[in-house]
Chains A and B, each alone.
Chain A
Amino acid sequence: MTSKTVSSSVYGWVDDRLGLSEMAAFARHKTVPVHSQSFWYYWGGISLFLFLVQCFTGVLLLVYYRPGAEAFESVRQITFVMHFGWLIRSAHSWSANLMLFAIFVHMFSVFFMKAYRKPREFGWLSGMALLGLATVFGFSGYLLPMDELSYFATKVGLEIPAAVPLIGPAIANMLRGGPEVSEFTVQRFFALHVVVLPAVFLPLLGFHLWLVQRHGNAVPPCEEAKPASERKSIPFMPGFLRKDLAMWLISLNILALLASVFPWSLGKQYDALSPAPMGIHPEWYFMSPFEMLKLLGNWLPGEFGEIAGLLLFSAGIVLWILIPFYDVEREAGRRSRAAHYFGLAAVILLLATTAIGYWTIR
Chain B
Amino acid sequence: MEKQYKTIGEDAWKNNVEKVNAELFIFTYGSLVVQLVKDYEDYAAVNKQLDKMGYNIGVRLVDDIMARTSLERCSGFTATAEVISKVGFKLFLNVAPSVASWSADGKEFSLIVDDNPLNDFCELPPKAVQDGLWYSNVLCGVIRGALEMMQMQTEVEFVRDVLRGDDTSEIRVRLLRMLDEEVPASDD
Q: Real complex partners, A and B?
A: no
